[in-house]
Amino acid sequence: MDADLIVLVLFAAIKTGTPLLLIALGEVICEKSGILNLGQEGMMLMGAVVGFIAAYSTGNAGFGVLAAMLMGSFMSLIFGVLVLHLGANQVATGLALTIFGTGLSAFIGSDFVGHTVQGFQPIAIPLLSKIPYLGEILFNHDILVYLSFVLAVIIAYVANKTRIGLVLKAVGENPHAANAIGIKVLRVRYLAIMFGGAMTGLAGSYMSLVYTPMWAENMTAGRGWIALALVVFASWRVGRIMLGAYLFGFASIMHLVLQGLGVDISSNLLAMMPYVATVIVMVIISADQFKEKLLAPRSLGKPFDPRHMA
């Protein structure tokens, strides 16, 4: 395998890993507050279709991104109301969100199938992109990829170094105690959920505006679910999410690499790779129960209702 191919593969791994990274960055904040939102796939599809339609009708991809993020937030708000105010089961509500998003996106997108839009073009960053190999891998992307780099740094900083991060961690560990010392648990959780939704919407628009760029039914192909596995893989740590996203990105393009190397395996079997890889990774990561209990937000998935506190 020559150097050019390696550069090409790593470049593609970052591109493919970016939507996973964006979703996982949002979901990790949501999960740190104790909420498990399984609706990623549905929100991502809605982000993709709304982003595409907005960009297609205005001719401006920026509007597309904005619309997708708003849509993602709105979808997650539905989830938030059901889970936080109506006490619905988080797993069931997340599934409902995915089923709803899958159906609704196909419904509103049916007139736009087959069209293309002018998405974001790669921008070579001056100087940095001239670094041999590294420049080509890291600094020759479109703006959304750079945005994901910046967001990862900001989110890591906020989660680990600021009071917001402290509050998030407190709410996710013990909402009853947080409520008792006067933290507005529901407000924190709403914000975390909606932040997660916006990030997933953004990831959706990345798919339909940059990655393909077009709209097709079910185009996200399980990426929302893989991103959820990624959060577990990363043990709720932002640095490892970034690493994991690109690893998963690499797994998704493995079949291209193998075909490039002349390996003769059916493309349908190779298409299973990311899913098989996800299962294997989850098995390896979760096997250490002791560690997972230590790292997972302790109230994750458990309902909390401040009104029922006697």
Partner 1 sequence: MAETLKKRHLIPRIELANITKQYPGCLANDNVSLTLMPGEIHALLGENGAGKSTLVKTIYGVVAPDSGDIIWDGKAVEIKSPSIARDLGIGMVFQHFSLFETLTVSQNIELCLSKKQLIAIGDLAKKITELSKEYGLDVNPNRYVHSLSIGERQRVEIMRCLVQSVKLLILDEPTSVLTPQEVSGLFEVLRTLAKEGCSILFISHKLHEVTEICQQATILRGGKVVDTCEPSKETPASIAKMMVGDLAEQDAGYSKKVGTHTVFEAKSLTLPAKHPFGTSLKNINFDLKAGEILGIAGVAGNGQDELMAIISGEDDRNVNNTLTFLSQSIGNLSAGGRRKLGMAYVPEERLGRGAVPDMSLTENTLLTHSEGFVKNGLVQWQSLKNYANTLISHYKIKCHGEFSEAKSLSGGNLQKFIMGREIGQNPKVLICAHPTWGVDVGAALAIHQALLELRDQGAAILLVSEDIDELFLLADRMGAVCDGYLSPVIKTEDATIDQIGQWMAGTFIDTSSQHPEEAIA
Partner 2 sequence: MIRIQARTEPSSIMKVASPLIAIVLTLIFGCILFSALNKNPFEALHVLLIAPLSDMYNIGEMLVKMSPLLFCAVGLSLCYRANMWNIGAEGQLLAGALGGSAVALLFIDSTSVFALPLTLIAGIISGMLWSAVPTYLKLRFNSNLILTTIMFNYIALYLLIWAVNGPLRDPDGYGFPESAMFSDSTTLPILLEGSRIHLGILFAVISAFVGWFILSKTHLGFQIRVFGADEPAAKYAGFSGKKLSWFVMLFSGALAGFAGVCEVTGPIGQLVPNVSPGYGYSAIIVAYLGRLHPLGAIVAAIFLAVLYMGGDLAQIQMGIPVAVVGMFQGVLLFFLLACDFFIRNRLTFNNQVTN
Binding interface with partner 2 (CB under 8 A): 38, 42, 78, 82, 86-89, 91-93, 95-104, 106-107, 110, 217, 221-222, 225, 228-229, 232, 266, 268-269, 271-272, 275-276, 278-279, 282-283, 285-287, 289, 292, 307-308
Taking the complex as a whole, the smallest distance from the CB of residue 176 to partner 1 amounts, in Å, to 8
Q: Which of partner 2, partner 1, none does residue 263 bind (CB under 5 to 8 Å by kind)?
A: none
Taking the complex as a whole, the smallest distance from the CB of residue 242 to partner 1 amounts, in Å, to 22
Taking the complex as a whole, the smallest distance from the CB of residue 294 to partner 1 amounts, in Å, to 4
Token output for 131: 């670094």
Neighbouring CB atoms inside 10 A of 66's CB total 19
Taking the complex as a whole, the smallest distance from the CB of residue 243 to partner 1 amounts, in Å, to 23
Residue 121 or residue 289: which is nearer to partner 2 going by CB?
289
Taking the complex as a whole, the smallest distance from the CB of residue 283 to partner 1 amounts, in Å, to 21
* Chain centroid offset of residue 37 CA: 11
Rounded Cα–Cα distance for residues 292 and 297 (Å): 9
Contacts for 17 with CB less than 8 Å, ≥ 6 apart: 245, 246, 247, 248, 249, 250
Q: 214 has which bridge partners?
A: 116
- Please tell me the total number of residues recorded for the chain in this structure: 310
Residue 86 or residue 290: which is nearer to partner 1 going by CB?
290
Residue 2 or residue 290: which is nearer to partner 1 going by CB?
290
- Of the candidates 166, 185, 165, the residue with the CA atom closest to the CA atom of residue 175: 185
Residue 166 or residue 276: which is nearer to partner 2 going by CB?
276
Taking the complex as a whole, the smallest distance from the CB of residue 87 to partner 2 amounts, in Å, to 6
Taking the complex as a whole, the smallest distance from the CB of residue 105 to partner 2 amounts, in Å, to 8
Binding site for partner 1 (CB under 8 A): 163, 166-167, 169-170, 173-174, 176-183, 290, 293-294, 298, 309-310
Token output for 219: 């185009």
Rounded Cα–Cα distance for residues 105 and 136 (Å): 35
Neighbouring CB atoms inside 10 A of 142's CB total 19
Q: Which of partner 1, partner 2, none does residue 256 bind (CB under 5 to 8 Å by kind)?
A: none
* Chain centroid offset of residue 98 CA: 14
- Report DSSP state, residue 129: G
Residue 67 or residue 83: which is nearer to partner 2 going by CB?
83
Residue 18 or residue 105: which is nearer to partner 2 going by CB?
105
- Of the candidates 20, 32, 23, the residue with the CA atom closest to the CA atom of residue 201: 23
Four-residue CA torsion sign, 260, 21, 49, 39: positive
| Residue 214 phi, psi dihedral angles, 5° rounding | -165, 175
Q: Which of partner 2, partner 1, none does residue 309 bind (CB under 5 to 8 Å by kind)?
A: partner 1
Q: Which of partner 2, partner 1, none does residue 200 bind (CB under 5 to 8 Å by kind)?
A: none
Residue 138 or residue 281: which is nearer to partner 2 going by CB?
281
Residue 6 or residue 91: which is nearer to partner 2 going by CB?
91
Q: Which of partner 2, partner 1, none does residue 116 bind (CB under 5 to 8 Å by kind)?
A: none
Q: Which of partner 1, partner 2, none does residue 238 bind (CB under 5 to 8 Å by kind)?
A: none
Taking the complex as a whole, the smallest distance from the CB of residue 216 to partner 2 amounts, in Å, to 12
Angle 122-125-127 from CA coordinates, rounded to 5°: 145
Residue in this structure with the two tokens 């796939």, named with its chain if needed: 41
Rounded Cα–Cα distance for residues 240 and 130 (Å): 27
| Residue 296 phi, psi dihedral angles, 5° rounding | -70, 140
